Amino acid sequence: MLAKCEGIVIRTIDYGETNKIITLYTREAGKVGVMARGAKKPNSRFSAVTQLFHFGHYLFLSGRGLGQLQQGETIESFRSIREDIFLTAYASYIAELLDKGTEERKPHEALFNLFYQSLHYLDEQYDPEVIVNIFEMKMLSVFGFAPELNRCLNCGAQDGSFAFSIREGGLLCHRCEEIDPYRMKISPAVARILRVLYYMDMDRLGTISIKDATKKEIRQVLDAYYEEYLGIELKTKRFLRQMGKMKDQL
């Protein structure tokens, strides 16, 4: 059966001397593995469309196993991401999170749109840390461990100051925070911004700017939360952290 999809390359591995296997995240079919025969040959018509983060129309033969790529056509190549090692690191982390949080052939159009917008705004040079934070916040519900950010987990209060409980999965007000001795102290700005990031449309990215100190706190909360619930540190995240240190030294 011939399938036609709009998709973005989220993973690519060499297969044999001349072939590549790419993983596409598509609007119509979710995640799909596709064999691109001859894609490693210098003059292959598949060489551009099988690059990491390439966004295009893909035509492939779809059976039980891997699809067989027949044709690809560029919609957006996200070249500035590929040409910038820092942006590549951010995009790779987003792509790996998406990969970890999704199964093959389970379409999820909102997630496709979110992923596309994230790459688009990275490519347009918007603040990569904020893009990554929004993506991470929204992926929490895809993974099935969305935190409570609107009210105290214990008493439901919406007023007062809040701590973040990794163990309980969200906010605890100052009256209830004792129930988790390992709670994280967070500033009122962080409690508010976590909620904003979680509900915000990526299209409104231009309207938000976050202070460095607040970003640091958000990073700590998200790192601890992901470590607790995902249980593994992604390769791309480790790399991103090393890149951050390098950047500080420049």
Q: Does residue 179 touch Zn ion according to CB under 5 A?
A: no
Least distance CB 161 / Zn ion (angstroms): 11
Smallest gap from Cβ 140 to Zn ion, in A, equals 21
In order of 44, 106, 108, 216, the CA distances from 13 in angstroms are 16, 22, 24, 34
Beta bridge partners of 123: none
Residue that is written with structure tokens 């919406």 in the block: 158
- Distance between CA 143 and CA 196 in Å, rounded? 19
What is the closest distance, in whole angstroms, from the C-beta atom of residue 172 to Zn ion in the complex? 6
- Least separation in angstroms between residue 164's CB and Zn ion is 13
Tell me which of 95, 173, 202, 210 binds Zn ion, using CB under 5 A: 173
C-alpha distances in Å from residue 35, one per residue of 11, 39, 49, 59, 74: 12, 9, 12, 12, 18
For 183, list phi and psi in degrees, rounded to 5: -55, 155
Could you say whether residue 97 binds Zn ion (CB under 5 A)? no
Among the residue ranges 69-77, 125-133, 171-179, 217-225, the one whose residues contact Zn ion (CB under 5 A): 171-179
Among 8, 49, 87, 176, binds Zn ion (CB under 5 A): 176
Contact footprint for Zn ion (CB under 5 A): 152, 154-155, 157, 173, 175-176
